[in-house]
Every structure is written in C-alpha cells, then in structure tokens.
Amino acid sequence: MQPVAVLPVHKSIRVAAPPARAFEIFTAGMHRWWPRAHSLNPKVERAAVVIEPRVDGRWYERGVDGTECSWGKVLRWEPPARVVLGWQLDHTWRFNPAFLTEVEIKFFADGDATLVKLEHRNLERYGENAKTIRDGLDSPEGWMGGLQLFASVIAAP
Amino acid sequence: MPYPTAELTALASETRARILERLEGGPLTVGEIAAGLPVSRPAISQHLRVLEEAKLVLEEYQGTRHIYRLDPTGLRALRAWLDRFWTHSLEAFAAEVERDQPKPTPAHATRRRSTRP
C-alpha cells in the first residue's frame, strides 16, 4: 500500500516550572495529571500511569485491582530535554505490540518556565488498516466505536 | 510491520500533506489545489486519488464544479480526535505543574518560622 499523508499532531504549551521539574511531572508524575477518563480500562479505578524511566521501558496504566493495560514504550529518554514515547494503541484502540506511532515531547527553558512541544507522528500508519477502519466504522467493536466510547467516557461528568 | 523507506514516504507525503493543508480551508477544485504547488495537474490528480482511497478526501460535483473536500470519516477523524485529546491532556498537565509550583516546601516554611524570635 502506498504511504498516506496524515499531518502529525503538533501542540505546545507553556508550564510554570523549569524543564527538569516539568519533565519529571510529565513522566514520573503522569498519573497526577493524565485525565482520569482517558483510560483503556474505564470500569476499574486507575491506580497509576507508569513510564519506566529508560529506553524500552514500558508505558502502562494499572488499575486498583492490579490489572495492567499497556499503552506503549519509551523510545528515547533524555531528561530534561526530550522523551519519545511509542504509542502502541491501534485502530481498534487496543495495545498492539506490532503497531507503533511516536509521541515526542520536548522541553525548552523559557525564563522561569518551560515551553513544552509535543508531536504525535506516524499517524499514516493507521492507514495500513484503512480497510479495517472502514469495515469497522459502524461496528460498536470497531475503531470508530472505540473512539466514540472513549469520547463519551471523556465527556461524561 | 513493513513500512516504506522514510525517504519515499516523505517524498510522496510532502505534496499530499500540502493538499490536505489547503483543504483544511474548505473545498477546492483540482485547479485551485494545484495553484502554486510545484507539481503537475496529473500528479495532483493522482495524489488526490490516493487520498480518496484512504478516505482522507471526498470528490463531489456541485453543479458543474468538480471539487474535493476533507473526508470527515476515517483517518481524518482519528487525527482530529488526537488533536483534541492532546490539547485536553496538555492543559491538564500545565494545571498540575501550576499546582505543584507555588507552595513552599514544608521544610523551608518550618525553618523560616523557627528562625523568627
């Protein structure tokens, strides 16, 4: 299949802490800020979001009942300047070790604060499943169903 | 998973990325899409076919006008969803950093108090 163009998602935000602190809260403290509703296992209360602080470290969430759901892995670990995470949730919104898109987060000192720049790239890799996506659009088990479920969970009060 | 080489991907996707950027402003004819791009009209049409097959753009006829617009389904929807997802998540991150900052450490506060007469 020919590669399909999908622009990366780019985001940036200024946070009120030096890069080292921002990096630490982003990674080691992810459970403190990652929106609670953004969970692959919404039926179980989340106990932690873990990024193992090394290349090839796992990125996963753990429920209070001990169940773990993998999200991906660490591709680059360069505190306090950069971390690259492999986002391995495929078009069915499930962890797939054979699938990977990259989320790169860079931390730039900006006075007393930090400019955080995020890029989520390789989204065209979802295109390799374009047919599956199309077939699954109307299925509650499909990719779109998964996203809608996810979106409704997020929107819920 | 077999992916094309990075060079091939970039070469092919550069033009398509620019086509998608242009269509973000609204529906356009092939001529309007091609204007200013250093690529021939037939090449643009070929790129549009690839984008159409991937459900990224839709072909439509409005009277005599033959136009292309972004396909609201498929990959485009996923990208838009991720865009909102990261906005929401980074805002939560910034708020957490904000909460983390202003409070002095308890040790520091205690020491300060204890040095007062």
Q: What is the pLDDT of residues A52-102, one digit of tens each?
A: 999 999 999 999 999 999 999 999 999 999 999 999 987 666 788 988 999
A154 contact B CB<8A = yes
| Chain A environment of B94 (Cβ under 8 Å) | 13-16, 116
| Chain A environment of B78 (Cβ under 8 Å) | 91, 123, 126, 133, 143, 147
Number of domains in chain A: 1
How do the domains of chain B map onto residue ranges?
A: 6-70, 75-115
Judge whether A1 lies within some domain: no
pLDDT at position A140 is 40
Summarize the confidence of residues B11-21 as an average pLDDT: 68
CA distance B87 to chain A (A): 7
The residue in chain B having the minimum alpha-carbon distance to the alpha carbon of residue A34 is B89
Judge whether A74 lies within some domain: yes
Q: Which helix or strand (DSSP H or E) is residue B67 part of? A: strand B65-70
Average pLDDT of chain A? 79
pLDDT at position A127 is 64
Measured in whole angstroms, the distance separating CA B4 from the mean position of its chain's CA atoms is 21
- Return the closest-CA partner of residue A147 out of A76, B45, A136, A102: A136
**pLDDT bucket at A116, cuts 50 / 70 / 90:** very high
Average pLDDT of chain B? 72
| Chain B environment of A34 (Cβ under 8 Å) | 89, 92
In degrees rounded to 5, what are phi and psi of residue B37?
-90, 135
Judge whether A4 lies within some domain: no
CA distance A45 to chain B (A): 18
Q: What is the DSSP letter of A127?
A: G
Contact call for residues B78 and A126 (beta carbons, < 8 A): yes
Does B8 have pLDDT greater than 50?
Answer: no
Fold classification of B6-70 (topology level): Arc Repressor Mutant, subunit A (1.10.10)
Mean pLDDT lowest among A32-46, A69-83, A105-119: A32-46
Residue A32, classified by CB atoms within 10 Å of its CB into exposed (0-12), middle (13-18) or buried (19+), is middle
ipTM comes to 0.79
pLDDT at position B58 is 86
| Chain A environment of B91 (Cβ under 8 Å) | 13
A111 contact B CB<8A = no
Q: What is the pLDDT of residues B70-87, one digit of tens each?
A: 776 666 667 777 887 788
Judge whether A68 lies within some domain: yes
Residue numbers of the domain that contains A13? 9-124
Query: Cα–Cα distance between A99 and A86 in angstroms, integer?
Result: 9
Q: Which helix or strand (DSSP H or E) is residue A58 part of? A: strand A58-63
CATH of the domain at A44: 3.30.530.20
CA distance A60 to chain B (A): 16
